[in-house]
Amino acid sequence: MTTTANSIDTARVELLLAELRLPGVKAIWPKLAAQSDKEGWPAARFLAALAEHEAADRTRRRIERHMTEARLPAGKTLATFDFDSVPMVSKAQVMALASGDAWLKNGANLLLFGPPGGGKSHLSAAIGLALVESGWRVLFQRTTDLVQRLQVARRELALEAALAKLDRYDLLILDDIAYVSKDQAETSVLFELIAARYERRSMLITANQPFGEWGRIFPDQAMTLAAIDRLVHHATILEMNVESYRRKAALDRKRGRGRPPAHTTPKELEKAPD
Ligand code: ADP
Ligand code: MG
């Protein structure tokens, strides 16, 4: 074996892999080829190892792209969500929802209700993150931001195209639907979005207000009812009626170790662990 022939082959392989757009294979093949030569692999095993590597690399890169496009708020994961603070929500049920499958395939919805600070945004982002990790496409949006974008599209006579573009997402997370303002409600783009996705593509919606207060979100009562009807037809509803986690955390800090002893009442001192 002449080294010249080898190095010519090497150069050709590098060029061809670049041309074929196989950066994963290009990066790994020298190492695998060396191992294959050393251990005397049959050609099929070498090829299988290369193909496996490329497939895994593509999956990883695709999930990375989906993670970027999802615009999830940072640091909100299921691991950092304290389920004990929301005893009315079943962790097992959330874990099942976070694995996707049936409900996303059927275009069913998930609605989270509860007062501000109860963990609705955190939980919806965490579910979104878990879904992206298992290969689904998700988009997280504050409802008012998305409605604003759709309003612009409508003005430019491109609402249908904008709605069709959102079809690529298996799950659309609309955070804080009740924050839609009066003038935004009048254009009814939100209703068109809900109608367009009905029974095809899933939505996860969070709301501080119960359905009874949704009259402000849509132009008239008939449309409000029609929207709610479509949303709840195939939906899981989680009520998170808990005290604000932010407030509770602040109070705990105040009561706990963080509080200077000079401000501690004798009764609290007695209860303190150390
Ligand atoms: P909401 O959207 O219901 O107003 P958020 O999800 O924004 O509430 O929660 C407020 C803050 O408290 C966030 O920083 C969130 O991460 C945190 N938080 C709320 N609930 C929990 C929980 N059960 N476990 C851990 N952090 C929580
Ligand atoms: Mg929120």
Residue 245, pLDDT above cutoff 70: yes
Give the per-residue pLDDT at 2.
Answer: 53
Distance between CA 212 and CA 75 in Å, rounded?
Answer: 33
- Tokens for 80? 């950092």
Confidence class of residue 262 from pLDDT cuts 50, 70 and 90? very low
The larger pLDDT score, comparing residue 101 to residue 213, is at 213
Q: If we measure between CA atoms, which residue out of 65, 123, 62 comes closest to residue 98?
A: 123
* Rounded distance from Cα 118 to ligand 2 centre (Å): 8
Give the per-residue pLDDT at 261.
Answer: 45
Nearest alpha carbon, ligand 1 atom 27? 119
pTM of the model: 0.85
Residue 266, pLDDT above cutoff 70: no
Backbone angles phi, psi at 8, to 5 degrees: -70, -45
Residue 239, pLDDT above cutoff 70: yes
Which residues place a Cβ less than 5 A from the ion ligand 2? 121
* Rounded distance from Cα 117 to ligand 2 centre (Å): 7
Residue 146, pLDDT above cutoff 50: yes
Residue 172, pLDDT above cutoff 60: yes
% of the chain residues with pLDDT over 90? 79
- Tokens for 208? 């501080």
Distances (CA, A) of 53 to 35, 60, 67: 15, 11, 21
User: Which ligand lies nearest to the CA atom of residue 112 in the structure?
Assistant: 1
DSSP tag of 72? P
* Rounded distance from Cα 139 to ligand 2 centre (Å): 15
Lining ligand 1 with CB less than 6 A are 76, 80-82, 85-86, 114, 116-122, 245-246
Nearest alpha carbon, ligand 1 atom 20? 119
**Residue range 266-273: mean pLDDT, rounded:** 41
Confidence class of residue 105 from pLDDT cuts 50, 70 and 90? very high
- Tokens for 202? 């899933």
Distance between CA 3 and CA 204 in Å, rounded?
Answer: 60
Average pLDDT, the chain: 90
201 close to 231: Cβ distance less than 8 angstroms = no
Q: If we measure between CA atoms, which residue out of 197, 149, 189, 148 comes closest to residue 169?
A: 197
